[in-house]
Amino acid sequence: MDQLIRQFAEKTPVHLLDEHRRQTHKNLHDPINTLLQSIRYAQSENLSSEGLIVTGSMVEGASFARLFSPDSKTSGEIEADFMIPLVEWYAEEFLMYVDSNKVFVHILVDSSIQRESILSQVRLCWGEYATEDKVFCQKEDGIYMSSQEVKNVLKEGIFRQSPNVLNNYGFRPCIADKNCEAESASLAVQIDEVIDDEMVAGTTKPCGSEITSSTTESANSASREARIIVNANDRIFKLIKEMVACCENFEIRIAEMLTHLQTVQDELMDMRSEELSDSVSIQRQVSKALEWAMICVDITDLIFDTRKSTVCHWLNECFSTNIQEETQREKLKQKLKIYIDQLTVWEDDFSDGSLAAAICQLLSDIEREDVIPKLFLVGFREFARQQAVLSKNLKCMIAKPELSQIPEPLQQLAGSSSRTSYDIVPCFKLLFWPSVAAEWKTRSRMWPDQLVIDNIVGKGSHLVGKAFCHEDIDWRLSFSVAEIELATRWSPAQHFVYFIFKSLFYKFIKPLSSDNTADASVSPKMSSKKYVASYLAKTIMMWTSESVDQSWWTEDNAAECLTVLLLAMQSAFECRTLDHYFVSSVNLLEGLPDVLASRVVDTINSILADPAAIVDQLKAPLEKTEFYFNAMSAQNEYAKNCEDYAKLFSELNAFSI
């Protein structure tokens, strides 16, 4: 085992692995979070206060483990997992845990009062789309909340409204395949690089063109990547210049219009003051209020026209979204149009004395609700401020030519992978700790201490839509936030050992699931793949971590640590038992096929008996990690240069009053 550890320590030293984990999380979280948030506002302004959650191997420090997979699609793929909380759930009373597997939940809502309460909360997020027939499912024993709608809200808002989203994103030639399967908790997005425009149109490379030497292939990849970057930068900077011109025109027009609005609003306030109320005719007040409302409409149109030509244009061009704000525009103008329609009628006809009371009431409403609090004026000024910041950031980007200079290590890194995969998991935030996981709060453990446990429990958990026994109403508890809290407290040595363990898992254990010689009696729904999912390795790591003192995890002791993890996995498959880490009453290996169990046990036996024998099989993927480590310095420097680019995204907020 020592030789194996030395090989990993030489190619993936602890300090570099830890630095890469921290850097990847930061560089991945911020831009993706901003992009998703900017698209989400088109859905609702009332989403959960909890932000994007990065989960999986990116946080655990084992993202390199995929390089060891014998499946070329997996090893050549950059994967990132995200959770997006949509609604906050306050009480456990509606949750019915499935007896055969208490990680799964059904939400029974037989009471009409309960359904109305849930609908009102859900509509805060989903709006009128959340109709009763979509949110609830009628079953023989009652009415349940649908688990599919939590995914449909994003599918409807992003995939259907923007069916080409992420195709050719950032002007890179790529195709995004979007899947939303009932049995999965996630919206899966796989972005594949394409060689040229002909492939986008559906053509293929000439027969035999794939037969090249590795040197030629590498040179071609680097040359292609350079051309892609030059083309993308040209188009991005052209787009930025168009946006700057639009911003400059907006700044001139909005300054004049806001000054005019302020003047008219002050004049209306003077007319409505007690001192002048008797001397100024109602007809003059109506004319002035009408002028105020029409100016507000003109400014609203200017703002939405500007957004259409700037931030919406940016998102639609760079990410192939289809963001339109006409609904928001009309919603904002609706109140003003009502004012205008009524004021116009009364301005033209004062012959009917009975209208005087209604006119005075309308003027009072306008004064009380809009003019005195300066609702529209303050909102317009805030948007003008945000737009000025956006314009400044755009000009800074143009003034920084280094933004268009992608360092060579980053070009090589981009060219080394052909697919980027995002698993986006919409979820409900549970503001309580599930009772079925109560044992986890108090059980005896060596690590971490109780204060950490209490802190984790205080953050609650999540529900995701995941099929189990009734795919339309099945929900699954997710403890991803708790797992992140634990993983981020692992020492660098722990992350190092876990990375090796996960790499061996991808290389030797996970491929066993693709062997079709398992028991014939096993149904397709009980596929062996679920027994060798990566969550299995994480579960073993979490159980082992709490059972030993953290001081045990050292570089010098890495061989023993790895051996213990492998033995723990072997024992689990021998006994057909691995308790869920948080809901320990659930056995993750329930129903494990005998043939698969034997294969896993035998494979681990082989690794433990002669670790040196597998060293040569690990050399190629270990060499690939050099690409990532070589790019870290350039990546950090480039991230600093792109701070203005990040600021640009910070202005992609919905306009509302």
In a shared domain, residues 568 and 426: yes
Least confident of 54-63, 476-485, 508-517, 520-529: 520-529
**pLDDT of 598 over the 90 cut:** yes
Confidence at residue 43, expressed as pLDDT on a 0 to 100 scale: 44
Confidence at residue 444, expressed as pLDDT on a 0 to 100 scale: 95
Close Cβ partners of 384 (under 8 Å, ≥ 6 residues apart): 251, 254, 255, 258
Percent of the chain with pLDDT over 70: 77
DSSP 579: B
For 64-82, the pLDDT digits (tens) are 888 898 887 777 777 878 8
Q: Judge whether 636 lies within some domain.
A: yes
Q: Judge whether 39 lies within some domain.
A: yes
Distance CA 356, CA 96 (A): 60
Looking at per-residue confidence, does 129 or 267 come out higher? 267
In sequence order, which ranges of 273-374 are alpha helices (DSSP H)? 282-309, 311-319, 326-348, 356-366
For 394-406, the pLDDT digits (tens) are 887 788 766 556 6
In a shared domain, residues 524 and 577: yes
For residue 496, which of 445, 411, 558, 547 has the smallest C-alpha distance? 558
Confidence at residue 182, expressed as pLDDT on a 0 to 100 scale: 63
For residue 104, which of 585, 531, 570, 514 has the smallest C-alpha distance? 585
Q: Judge whether 184 lies within some domain.
A: no
For 186-244, the pLDDT digits (tens) are 777 888 777 654 433 443 344 333 334 444 555 566 677 677 777 887 888 889 899 99
428 phi and psi, to 5 degrees?
-100, 135
In a shared domain, residues 373 and 420: no
In a shared domain, residues 360 and 487: no
Looking at per-residue confidence, does 314 or 458 come out higher? 458
Model confidence at 574, pLDDT cuts 50, 70, 90, reads very high
For residue 382, which of 626, 161, 651, 601 has the smallest C-alpha distance? 651
In a shared domain, residues 419 and 392: no
Do residues 512 and 600 touch, judged by C-beta distance below 8 A? yes
In a shared domain, residues 367 and 512: no
Do residues 133 and 457 touch, judged by C-beta distance below 8 A? no
In a shared domain, residues 478 and 337: no
**pLDDT of 46 over the 50 cut:** no
DSSP 137: E
Which residue segment(s) compose the domain that 466 sits in? 2-133+148-156+410-641
- State the total domains in the chain: 2
In sequence order, which ranges of 163-281 are alpha helices (DSSP H)? 197-200, 214-272
Looking at per-residue confidence, does 186 or 470 come out higher? 470
Close Cβ partners of 246 (under 8 Å, ≥ 6 residues apart): 306, 309, 310
Do residues 489 and 451 touch, judged by C-beta distance below 8 A? no
Q: Judge whether 182 lies within some domain.
A: no
Q: CA dist 180 to 155, 474, 643, Å?
A: 8, 15, 34
- Give me the mean pLDDT over the 500-523 stretch: 76
Distance CA 498, CA 496 (A): 5
Q: Judge whether 216 lies within some domain.
A: no
Q: At 213, list the tokens.
A: 């030497």
Least confident of 168-177, 271-280, 595-604: 271-280
For 91-128, the pLDDT digits (tens) are 898 899 999 999 999 998 888 887 888 788 777 666 66
Domain C-terminal end among 399, 428, 451: 399
In a shared domain, residues 580 and 629: yes
**pLDDT of 7 over the 90 cut:** yes
Distance CA 326, CA 190 (A): 30
CATH number of the domain enclosing 451? 1.10.1410.40
Q: Which helix (H) or strand (E) holds 422?
A: strand 419-430
Q: At 20, list the tokens.
A: 């890469």
In a shared domain, residues 38 and 117: yes
Q: Which helix (H) or strand (E) holds 31?
A: helix 14-40
State whether the Cα torsion 317-323-325-327 is positive or negative: positive
Close Cβ partners of 331 (under 8 Å, ≥ 6 residues apart): none
For residue 94, which of 81, 82, 105 has the smallest C-alpha distance? 105
Domain C-terminal end among 399, 434, 467: 399
- Dihedral, 27, 30, 35, 37 alpha carbons, nearest 10: 160
- Give me the mean pLDDT over the 536-554 stretch: 96
Close Cβ partners of 319 (under 8 Å, ≥ 6 residues apart): 35, 165, 166, 169, 170
In sequence order, which ranges of 100-200 are alpha helices (DSSP H)? 112-126, 132-135, 149-154, 197-200
Q: Is the pTM of this model over 0.85?
A: no
- Give me the mean pLDDT over the 249-268 stretch: 95
Output b/e per residue, 25-35; b: 16+ Cβ within 10 A. beebbeebbbb
- CA neighbours within 13 Å on the CB side: how many for 287? 8
Confidence at residue 49, expressed as pLDDT on a 0 to 100 scale: 47
Q: At 505, list the tokens.
A: 């898992």
Distance CA 89, CA 66 (A): 35
Confidence at residue 195, expressed as pLDDT on a 0 to 100 scale: 61
Average pLDDT, the chain: 81
Distance CA 382, CA 657 (A): 10
Do residues 143 and 136 touch, judged by C-beta distance below 8 A? yes
Model confidence at 245, pLDDT cuts 50, 70, 90, reads very high
- Which residues are paired to 422 by β-bridges? 80, 189
Q: Judge whether 36 lies within some domain.
A: yes
Distance CA 267, CA 197 (A): 60
- Give me the mean pLDDT over the 477-504 stretch: 95
For residue 614, which of 107, 169, 70, 101 has the smallest C-alpha distance? 70
Distance CA 4, CA 611 (A): 6
In a shared domain, residues 580 and 445: yes
3-state DSSP assignment of residue 142? strand
Model confidence at 655, pLDDT cuts 50, 70, 90, reads low
Domain C-terminal end among 380, 399, 418: 399
Close Cβ partners of 197 (under 8 Å, ≥ 6 residues apart): 173
The total of other beta-carbon atoms located within 10 Å of residue 608's CB is: 14
Q: CA dist 286 to 266, 364, 365, 516, Å?
A: 14, 11, 12, 81
Distance CA 327, CA 333 (A): 10
Q: Judge whether 450 lies within some domain.
A: yes
- CA neighbours within 13 Å on the CB side: how many for 41? 18
- Give me the mean pLDDT over the 157-186 stretch: 74
For residue 63, which of 87, 27, 30 has the smallest C-alpha distance? 27
Q: At 302, list the tokens.
A: 């200017």
Looking at per-residue confidence, does 42 or 597 come out higher? 597
For 609-625, the pLDDT digits (tens) are 999 899 999 998 888 88
Distance CA 3, CA 66 (A): 22
Q: At 192, list the tokens.
A: 């594949």
Do residues 83 and 427 touch, judged by C-beta distance below 8 A? yes
For 444-457, the pLDDT digits (tens) are 999 999 999 999 99
In a shared domain, residues 536 and 600: yes
- Which residues are paired to 430 by β-bridges? 89, 461
Q: Judge whether 214 lies within some domain.
A: no
Confidence at residue 472, expressed as pLDDT on a 0 to 100 scale: 86
In a shared domain, residues 392 and 417: no
Close Cβ partners of 531 (under 8 Å, ≥ 6 residues apart): 513, 588, 589, 592, 593, 596
Do residues 503 and 68 touch, judged by C-beta distance below 8 A? yes
